[in-house]
Structure 1
């Protein structure tokens, strides 16, 4: 069942904060993922580099 009288503009205003928060979380996750990929690629050039799992265990 759906609501019979939906006001899209009103709903946009009510959910703006949540949508901005979700967008920020997705952006931050992308930044962290890119940083991890760059770090991993940098460490991949060094055959004596410590495993990433070792950093978690410390």
Structure 2
């Protein structure tokens, strides 16, 4: 049988999942912002990322 102290401890899998979601959330916000910027003005967004001018 399991010891009572082990069953009352923090679940490691749950902690890893929460940490992963917490780190993934800001990344998703940045990507959504960049995608919206690209859809609104694709030419300006592409010139900023490459640093080259078409003129």
**Higher RCO by CA contacts (8 Å cutoff, separation 6 or greater):** 2
Tell me the TM-score normalized by structure 1.
0.50
Runs of 4+ in 1 over 2 A off after TM superposition: 5-12
RMSD value, Cα: 2.8
User: Unmatched 5+ residue regions in structure 1?
Assistant: 51-58
For this pair of structures, how many residues does the alignment match?
Answer: 46
Change (3 A) 1:12 1:44: farther
User: Unmatched 5+ residue regions in structure 2?
Assistant: 47-55
